[in-house]
Amino acid sequence: MTVLTLLSEQQLLAMPESDYMNAEQLAFFRQRLLEEQQKLWQHIERLKCDINGGDLSGDEADKAAREEDLRLLFRQLDRESRLLPKLTAALARLENGDYGYCLETGEPIGLPRLLLRPTAELGIEAKTAQEMREPHLRKSKSTSF
């Protein structure tokens, strides 16, 4: 097994299109996804400590402030917990050789998009089409009674 030096984002973007998802790029995104997953786990643990710590005693204003803080912490915990399966799925796609390719079209998602959202499953066109369909689905479901 050879040891690959991780590229910078600029080096990654400077590569020719024919090198798309080569070993160096896959190593770059594997490292990025693993680091993001580790940071997310650490942040979730800190959120849990913040939720479990704290005191609900005091006057009504103190209790109300703590309840509002808890509401925000739970909301953030929920949001970040939903990101974990996306990271796991992206790592699985990376191992399967599907990472970086649109799940609907099979076309490359593109390095700029993956740099912004390493868990992206769809190319820009497929994602845009999905987002345009969603309001229509909700509207048709609500009017189908």
Model pTM greater than 0.85?
no
Domain ranges, ordered by start, for the chain: 18-142
Give the orientation angle of helix 23-52 with respect to helix 60-96, to 10 degrees. 160
Q: Dump pLDDT digits (tens) for 79-118.
A: 888 899 999 999 999 999 999 999 999 999 999 999 999 9
Cβ density class 85-97: b for 16+ within 10 Å, e for less: ebbeebbebbeee
Half-sphere exposure of 9 (CA within 13 A, CB side): 9
CATH code assigned to 18-142: 1.20.120.910
- Top pLDDT among 1 and 59 is at 59
List of E strands, the chain: none
Dist CA 78 CA 50 (whole Å): 14
Higher pLDDT, 136 or 106: 106
Residue 39: predicted pLDDT: 93
The rounded mean pLDDT for the chain is: 85
